[in-house]
Structure 1
Amino acid sequence: MTGGDPRLIESPQNPRVKLWTALAETRGIKKHGAFLMAGRKTVPEALKRHAGHFNAVLACREADIAALKPLASLERFVLSKALFEALDVNGTGFPLLVGRVPDMAAADFSKAPKGLELVCALGDPANLGAVLRSAAAFGAKRVVLMEAAAHPFHPKALRAAANAQFELQFLKGPGWAALNDAKGAVAALDGGGEDIGDYKWPRDIRLVLGEEGLGLPAGLKARRLSIPTTGAVESLNATVAASLAMQAHFSAMRKG
């Protein structure tokens, strides 16, 4: 069913409800290749700019669905209040969108990057979402997700990224060892690295973010860059450091 009158669902045993419920966790997102989007600002914006990524809309009132534009051929479902609230994990009270996770090809480090390419191992989905928002803002079109990285379409990542996912191409990263033989420039954020203000940014480069807490793997072959601070705190949050680094590349490219 596409378009037309909404279908009413009241049973928690409904197969669709079971599928949507699974999308609160990474395992369910990977299994079904789907995600749930929530947000009073992000849902209307996503429909306006990225409608092709979605196939259904969920709400607890038919009038809430009718108020959304454009709905095009999306399937429409009205859920009982209890079912909807269970799926609306952020408590927005606003219609939810069901989307398709885009295919993610394997990254090929034997080919040089084009522009700024982010290589990321952040495991916290909220942190990943925040970094993706900065990546889209500062022109990093490709994001390589290493094995430890959170899923970019996890509900927390979607909330933090504010629709940035739809501006980016995601690739599955190989093991860290493959990065040692990567073609082209590779730089990694490291508190013990050289001052990022002295670095001459190439246009084409892979910028590497390690895991929270663990940092970069030992022996990684990359130019190490650090963000200078007053030293009043031990280190910057990974999302802040990454945002500053991507802005530095963006600024350097604007200056030519």
Structure 2
Amino acid sequence: MSSGARAIDSPQNANAKKWLALTESRGIRKHGAFILSGRKTVPEALARHPNRFTAALARTESDLNRLALPPSVERYVLAKPVFEALDTNGTGFPLLVGEVPEMAAADFSAAPKGFELVLALGDPSNLGAALRSAAAFGATRVVLMEGAAHPFHPKALRGGANAQFGLTFLKGGDWTALEGAEGPVAALDGKGTDIEEYVWPENLRLVLGEEGRGLPPGLKATLLAIRTTGAVESLNATVAASLALSARFRRISSR
């Protein structure tokens, strides 16, 4: 092919097998890579973060030519069955393969430097939506506790709408690691102080409990509540996180 694109016709091809593994969290962790899809997200991510990607995958040569690909990004034209197996969101648009950034271990023995969102959302779509809110409201550091979905899972990437590329991710371990954490720690809980009255410190860890299980026992934190009508027992964890992030952003911005 004139552009130097490589053709892959079989799912047994070594590259195809690796990419197919990236549709699941295990494969993402094994290979340290991910696949990004989306008619809007792919061009935007490529324009803003071209160095994050190593390959572009498409059905045809003309599809690849729709993207402004830097020379460092390898080009592949895939047979229809191979492409459709990788295009888990069914967009039909070219896909990008990128490298997952290194995630350092969170140091709870040191006070937070800035704002950290601590969570363990196990559903990748919910995690992606929470990350989108985090980016929208100025959070840049996210601590992923044990049990959290992978932030670069295809469903998380779809929900995040490219939020992942502006965030720093840290590994938090299991919930016992938070016991005795230094510095200000706040957590969402229906019995806490009204979140609209809370004076948000610049440096803070905001903990979002596990869906269905709530906050870990023994956590020492300022409890914050989101005021509601009481018509439902609790809010969806992602909705609660978004409301809390918005409240913090408004308070911080008004200073």
Q: Aligned-pair distance for 1:18?
A: 0.5
Q: Aligned-pair distance for 1:163?
A: 0.3
Q: Aligned-pair distance for 1:190?
A: 1.1
Q: Aligned-pair distance for 1:149?
A: 0.6
1:76-155 equivalences under 5 Å are: 76-155=75-154
Could you tell me which amino acid in structure 2 is paired with residue 157 of structure 1?
A
The answer to whether the 8 Å contact 1:180/1:222 transfers is no
Could you tell me which amino acid in structure 2 is paired with residue 149 of structure 1?
A
Could you tell me which amino acid in structure 2 is paired with residue 91 of structure 1?
G
Q: Aligned-pair distance for 1:4?
A: 4.4
CA distance in 1, matches of 2:174, 2:21: 28
Could you tell me which amino acid in structure 1 is paired with residue 207 of structure 2?
V
Could you tell me which amino acid in structure 2 is paired with residue 192 of structure 1?
K
Could you tell me which amino acid in structure 2 is paired with residue 37 of structure 1?
L
Corresponding residue number in structure 2 for 1:160: 159
Q: Tell me the SS of whatever aligns to 1:173.
A: strand
Unmatched tracts of structure 2, length 5 or more: none
CA distance in 2, matches of 1:178, 1:232: 35
Could you tell me which amino acid in structure 2 is paired with residue 55 of structure 1?
T
Runs of 4+ deviating beyond 4 Å: none
Q: Aligned-pair distance for 1:51?
A: 1.0
Q: Tell me the SS of whatever aligns to 1:236.
A: coil
Q: Tell me the SS of whatever aligns to 2:117.
A: strand
The answer to whether the 8 Å contact 1:188/1:222 transfers is yes
Q: Tell me the SS of whatever aligns to 1:134.
A: helix
Aligned length: 254
Q: Tell me the SS of whatever aligns to 2:196.
A: helix
Corresponding residue number in structure 1 for 2:74: 75
CA distance in 2, matches of 1:183, 1:16: 45
Q: Tell me the SS of whatever aligns to 1:188.
A: strand
CA distance in 2, matches of 1:71, 1:77: 14
Q: Aligned-pair distance for 1:177?
A: 2.3
CA distance in 2, matches of 1:100, 1:250: 30
Q: Aligned-pair distance for 1:117?
A: 0.6
Q: Aligned-pair distance for 1:234?
A: 1.9
Q: Aligned-pair distance for 1:115?
A: 2.1
Corresponding residue number in structure 2 for 1:11: 10
Q: Tell me the SS of whatever aligns to 1:118.
A: strand
Q: Aligned-pair distance for 1:231?
A: 1.2
The answer to whether the 8 Å contact 1:23/1:35 transfers is yes
Percentage of matched positions with identical amino acids: 68
Q: Tell me the SS of whatever aligns to 1:99.
A: strand
CA distance in 2, matches of 1:56, 1:191: 46
Corresponding residue number in structure 1 for 2:49: 50
* TM-score of the pair, normalised by structure 1: 0.96
Unmatched tracts of structure 1, length 5 or more: none
Q: Tell me the SS of whatever aligns to 2:229.
A: coil
CA distance in 1, matches of 2:161, 2:244: 20
The answer to whether the 8 Å contact 1:59/1:96 transfers is yes
CA distance in 2, matches of 1:10, 1:30: 26
Corresponding residue number in structure 2 for 1:182: 181
CA distance in 2, matches of 1:58, 1:136: 27
The answer to whether the 8 Å contact 2:146/2:175 transfers is no
Which range moves more in the overlay, 26-35 or 244-253? 244-253
Could you tell me which amino acid in structure 2 is paired with residue 19 of structure 1?
K
Structural RMSD (CA): 1.2
* TM-score of the pair, normalised by structure 2: 0.97
Closer, same or farther in 2 for the Cα pair 1:207/1:241, shift >3 Å? same
